[in-house]
Structure 1
Amino acid sequence: MPPSPSGDERASRPPLLEIVVPAHNEERRLPGGLLQLCAKLARMPFPTAVIVVDNNSTDRTAEIVTTWPSGSVPVRLVRCATPGKGAAVRAGLLRTSAPFAGFCDADMATDLEGIDLALGLLLSGERVVIGSRAHRRSHVENRHSRIRELGAYGFRALAGALVPGVSDTQCGFKFFDGALAREVAALLRTPGFAFDVELLARCRARGFEVREIPVRWRDMPGSRFSPARHTFGIVLELGRIWLRLRARPRPAARPAWEPPLDPVGYP
């Protein structure tokens, strides 16, 4: 058996999988999250890479990424000035070039062992594989308040009208055929928390099924979602998604917002 490639050799080869991590003021959680993610990816038998999208942070988030030690898993920075997790994920996916691409949250609330199952399914022909906390084999440690749980129930009911049959659109653990991810990301117009719904609905509109997999998920402190502050905006976002998906496409239409053109990270 040929020897395994060294870290430098591995990092110099084009990645098979790139993972996007959106980050807004994540200087406290990002170092630990990157350590976990890079350790997991370094054990995989093929080249991988991480793209951290600095979403208009005012803390040391960007500095943490630019000074991250080099290793077998390259970690690169992309900047996104448009506020919102959806805007950040879109910017990151558009900077990928690997055959497979995905994204996960900076807090690593979803156990990273799920990457093996997700990638195995993609290699077997699936095009969209997402973690689902509602899967019967998932293990979820949830410390959410009753109000937040009721809000999540209402959101799932509304999202179900746009993506029928998908039990959990919002788990921050999604993987795609790379070409499809970039094609769909280019069409995304939802910058906020509801972007996952538009992303999955557009995959469905292209005839691709959404494969849900079980995950181990822990409710991590520091969530930026607040029912009081975000519920009304999310309902509006879902309404706009519904209208966009039913509108006739206009070939020359100018997008509502553009991906960042900042030269930091991938060219």
Structure 2
Amino acid sequence: MTTQHQPQTATQSSFTPTSATGTDKSKRERSNPPAFYDAPRSSDQSKTPYAPQTFDVHDSSNDSDPSGASNLSNVPGLSGAIDPVGLIAEQVGNPVQVDADIVIPVYNEHEELADSVLTLMQYLGSPRSVPASAQWQSPYPPQYSWNIVIADNASTDDTWSIAVDLARQYPQFVRAVRIPAKGRGRALKLAWGQSHAKVRAYMDVDLSTDIRLTDVLVGSILNGHAEVASGCRLLDESQVTRSPKREFISRSYNVLLRATLGVTFEDAQCGFKAISAKAADFLLPQIKDNEWFFDTELLTLAQTYGLPTYIFPVRWVEDAGTTVNIPDTVRKDLKGIRRMRHELAASAI
């Protein structure tokens, strides 16, 4: 049974950045709340994206809690948390007990790292109210304690030095870790694995997802509503601006996942996810991929084990300067799908 969270409002309520490079117009526009925030909620919980998608693939006939509520304490393997000692080359600041660690994995992002971190800090430190559409979450925590964790995975530009500067200038709010090997999955495994936070979240450095949805991402787990949460760009309520090519690839990948792995979630690759501390201890040691397929593996395992997973619509704007190598990512995703299909069939979870 998840303990009901009481929002913390203390010393992290406000601050004044002193070295911001200025927030460009595109980022200011991304901070506007999406139109669906205050839309009336459907009475049919099964058809609204605000209903938790609790995946239960295993036979739950003998479960003591047939409702699908979180019961991770009975799942074997919780003690197998990742030990990142020796795998993180450098760090500035140590993990602390907060409500949420928000990890920003970066590779050669010196141009927008400082601006993005300061933009996120300003939002998290600002007083804000509960969106009407989120009233089902009780208590919804618009204020909670947090750390931003910059996870630099093998950058070759000035990204690490900028991360160090931010962590030293704002030690209450930012810490930084340097991982001498590439891979978003690797960065998240290590940053989440060493975290002491109740919720371990991550978002892409370009802040493509509306940062006001951070409260939904973190809050859905803090209040015990879910163990895993993820934004979804493919829901009808989502507002997405991206090229036709990226849209086609995303939807095709979703169809492929459903056909090969039997998943029921959508948009595995949205860079806006969070897991609870217990889910991290349980899932991270089982995730083998260290790169882009990490997200798919995370959600697939969560579904396979029946962990309550909350999928919600987002407002998302494509970063025109993205450095994602699409052909290489597609090739590795197909390899990951083949591996997981074989593993799931062999284990018969």
Query: Partner of 1:141 in structure 2?
Result: 241
Secondary structure of the residue aligned to 1:79 is: strand
Taking the aligned partners of 1:138 and 1:81, their CA distance within structure 2 comes to 36
Q: Does 2:220 correspond to 1:121?
A: yes
Contact 1:42-1:73 at 8 Å conserved across structures: no
Secondary structure of the residue aligned to 2:303 is: helix
Secondary structure of the residue aligned to 1:186 is: helix
Taking the aligned partners of 2:270 and 2:277, their CA distance within structure 1 comes to 19
CA 73–221 in structure 1, closer or farther in 2 if over 3 Å, else same: farther
2:184 equivalent among 79, 85, 89 = 85
Which one has more relative contact order, counting CA pairs under 8 Å at least 6 apart?
A: 2
Tell me the CA shift for residue 145 of structure 1. 4.6
Contact 1:85-1:192 at 8 Å conserved across structures: yes
Tell me the CA shift for residue 39 of structure 1. 1.3
Taking the aligned partners of 1:45 and 1:216, their CA distance within structure 2 comes to 21
Contact 1:163-1:200 at 8 Å conserved across structures: no
Output the amino acid matched with 1:112: I
Tell me the CA shift for residue 74 of structure 1. 2.0
Q: Does 2:109 correspond to 1:26?
A: yes
Q: Does 2:10 correspond to 1:5?
A: yes
Output the amino acid matched with 1:55: N
CA 140–8 in structure 1, closer or farther in 2 if over 3 Å, else same: closer
Query: Partner of 1:256 in structure 2?
Result: none
Contact 2:226-2:310 at 8 Å conserved across structures: yes
Query: Partner of 1:182 in structure 2?
Result: 281
Taking the aligned partners of 1:230 and 1:236, their CA distance within structure 2 comes to 10
2:326 equivalent among 224, 227, 235 = 227
Taking the aligned partners of 1:234 and 1:101, their CA distance within structure 2 comes to 24
Q: Could you give the per-residue CA deviations for residues 203-258 of structure 1, whole angstroms, max 9, x where no partner exists? A: 22322132111111000122222333432222112212223334449xxxxxxxxx
Contact 2:153-2:180 at 8 Å conserved across structures: yes
Task: Provide the TM-score with structure 1 as the length reference.
Answer: 0.82
Query: Partner of 2:151 in structure 1?
Result: 53
Taking the aligned partners of 1:80 and 1:243, their CA distance within structure 2 comes to 30
Select between 71-80 and 165-174 the one with higher mean Cα deviation. Answer: 71-80
- Number of residues of Structure 1 aligned to a counterpart in Structure 2: 244
Taking the aligned partners of 2:207 and 2:240, their CA distance within structure 1 comes to 13
Tell me the CA shift for residue 190 of structure 1. 0.7
Tell me the CA shift for residue 9 of structure 1. 11
Output the amino acid matched with 1:133: R
Output the amino acid matched with 2:230: I
Tell me the CA shift for residue 171 of structure 1. 0.6
Output the amino acid matched with 1:155: Y
Contact 1:23-1:54 at 8 Å conserved across structures: yes
Q: Could you give the per-residue CA deviations for residues 134-176 of structure 1, whole angstroms, max 9, x where no partner exists? A: 122111111x253x43332321122224362211111100112
Tell me the CA shift for residue 20 of structure 1. 1.0
Q: Which runs of 5+ in 2 are unaligned?
A: 1-8, 16-92, 127-141
Q: Which runs of 5+ in 1 are unaligned?
A: 250-267
Secondary structure of the residue aligned to 2:308 is: coil
Query: Partner of 1:16 in structure 2?
Result: 99
CA 247–139 in structure 1, closer or farther in 2 if over 3 Å, else same: same
Q: Which structure has the larger Rg?
A: 2
Taking the aligned partners of 1:242 and 1:180, their CA distance within structure 2 comes to 22
Tell me the CA shift for residue 73 of structure 1. 4.7
Output the amino acid matched with 1:198: E
2:160 equivalent among 57, 62, 87 = 62
Query: Partner of 1:194 in structure 2?
Result: 293
Q: Could you give the per-residue CA deviations for residues 64-83 of structure 1, whole angstroms, max 9, x where no partner exists? A: 11111544852111222232
Query: Partner of 1:74 in structure 2?
Result: 173
Query: Partner of 1:264 in structure 2?
Result: none
CA 235–14 in structure 1, closer or farther in 2 if over 3 Å, else same: same
Output the amino acid matched with 1:61: T
Q: Does 2:205 correspond to 1:106?
A: yes
Taking the aligned partners of 1:223 and 1:26, their CA distance within structure 2 comes to 10
Taking the aligned partners of 2:326 and 2:145, their CA distance within structure 1 comes to 40
CA 163–120 in structure 1, closer or farther in 2 if over 3 Å, else same: farther
